[in-house]
Structure 1
Amino acid sequence: MRLVKTLPFLLGLGTVLGSVSAWALPTDRDQPIHIQSDDAQLDDKQGIATYKGNVIITQGTMKITGNTVTITRTSTGEINVFTSVGNLAYYEQKPELNKPIVQAYGVTIQYFALDNKIVLIDKAKVINDGNTSEGEKIIYDTVRQVVNAGRANGTKLTAPRPRIDMVIQPKSKPDAQKAP
């Protein structure tokens, strides 16, 4: 009897999660998606899934964590917006085989799957190959690996930060080009 009640939930959950692969890297897309949380609710008619309580989502090298994660999808079942809220919400993914993992933090992380874009709001920080970007709001293009940082106008912040802070590491030179 219990399986009969949970089967529609599990089938709807599978539809939502199957679409998540659209925002993972090609090598990650073939990996299973794992979601751990204390509570899960799915409104299949509205296209909204909400996970609460120490949420951890992984697929291949990609990982997203938060206190609450909400996934909305389009009418065709594609993931539209993936919102993680926490103190701090977290995202990581390895962009290429020989590149280090990119890490991103924020009180709110919104992943726009169809645009391959992450918006970090409040205590926003991106770490990419030793380079860091910090500010109130950061928009990170996961494909092009481009950061735009600025003020989070109109948003209530826990930590206002009027200036952007970036650290750019120098490129390594081959031994022949190094100074004697």
Structure 2
Amino acid sequence: MIGTFAAGRLRAGFGFVPTLALIAAVGAAGPVPALAQQQQGTSVQMSGLKQDPDEPVEVTSDALSVDQNAGLATFTGNVIVVQGTMRMTAPKAVVTYMRGPDGKPISQIDRIDATDGVTLTTPTEAAEGREAVYRPETGEIVMTTDVLLTQGPNSVAGQRLTVDVDTGTGLMSGGRVRSVFQSQPSGQGGGGN
């Protein structure tokens, strides 16, 4: 099943059509991530996540189930979400809609939960984790459980990655955070005889 939806402030085009606006991927300005140790985790520059929230979102899945009364849209089986240069894949994604003053679901997304192994990518970075939650109103994506962020040849791992899509910054935390940095060739020596 394929659907293309306007992401804007997440208005449904007709009736209660699931409007999926997932801004999820990981990016950086250069090949080496800008990292700075903080007391609560490792700060990561992720400028590839900074996207226009008005770009359309295309969702492809094997099946879609909508529960209008509960305000839920469940995408299952090979879920692929694309917005701009960002891409998210997962076996399952559940969209929960906000409720209006009358208690009924409205077409504005409260949260998107992707589960069972999630991968977020841009052309130059990738992040993996067991789960991801995106809240469009706050512009926050939280990936949890065995999270690995790769930026070029460098990587950062932890149990929780919190990303602010408005600023393109993130924080890796949870347990011990591990970073691996590959040195850049110095251009000297050339390696020949």
- Please classify the TM superposition score into its range, dividing by the shorter chain length: 0.5 to 0.7
Give 1:1-180 correspondences, 5 Å limit: 11-13=15-17, 16-17=18-19, 20=21, 25-26=51-52, 29-31=54-56, 33-75=57-99, 76-86=106-116, 88-93=117-122, 101-128=124-151, 131-151=154-174, 162-167=175-180
- Post-superposition offset of 1:122: 1.0
> Structure 2: how far apart are the matches of 1:30 and 1:59?
6
Q: TM-score, normalised by structure 1?
A: 0.65
8 Å contact kept, 2:22–2:134? no
Tell me which amino acid in the other structure corresponds to 2:120.
Y
User: The residue matched to 2:167 in structure 1 has which SS?
Assistant: coil
> RMSD of aligned C-alpha atoms?
3.1
Structure 2 CA distance for aligned equivalents of residues 142 and 102 of structure 1 = 15
Measure, in 2, the Cα distance between the counterparts of 1:59 and 1:67.
Answer: 18
2:108 and 2:85 map into 1 onto residues whose CA distance is 21
User: Offset at 1:168?
Assistant: 5.5
TM-aligned CA deviation for residue 128 of structure 1: 4.0
Cα gap change, 1:164/1:143 in structure 2, threshold over 3 Å: closer, same or farther?
A: same
Instruction: Confirm or deny: 8 A CA contact 2:51 2:165 kept in the other structure.
Output: no
Higher relative contact order (CA 8 A, sep 6+): 2
For residues 83-125 of structure 1, the C-alpha deviation after alignment (integer angstroms, 9 at most, x for no partner) is 1112x311224xxxxxx54422111011121111111111112
Deviation of 1:11 after TM superposition, in Å, equals: 4.0
Q: Is the 8 A contact 1:22 1:29 kept in 2?
A: no
Task: Give the counterpart letter for 2:108 in structure 1.
Answer: E
Q: Kindly state the Cα deviation for residue 44 of structure 1 after the two structures are TM-superposed.
A: 2.0
State the secondary structure of the residue aligned to 1:12.
Answer: coil
Q: 2:127·2:147 contact (CA, 8 Å) conserved in 1? A: yes
Identity %: 21
- Superposed CA deviations along residues 44-93 of structure 1, whole A, max 9, x for unmatched, are 2222111111111112212111011111121242222111112x311224
Higher helix proportion, which one?
1
The alignment of Structure 1 onto Structure 2 pairs a total of residues equal to 144
Residue 21 and residue 148 in structure 1: after superposition, are their counterparts in 2 closer, same or farther (change >3 A)? closer
Question: Normalised by the size of structure 2, how large is the TM-score?
Answer: 0.61
Residues 125 and 150 of structure 1: CA distance in aligned 2, closer, same or farther (over 3 Å): same
* Aligned residue type for 2:161: I
Provide closer, same or farther for how the CA distance between residues 83 and 120 of structure 1 changes in structure 2, counting only shifts above 3 A: same
SS in 1 for 2:16: helix
Moved more, 62-71 or 162-171: 162-171
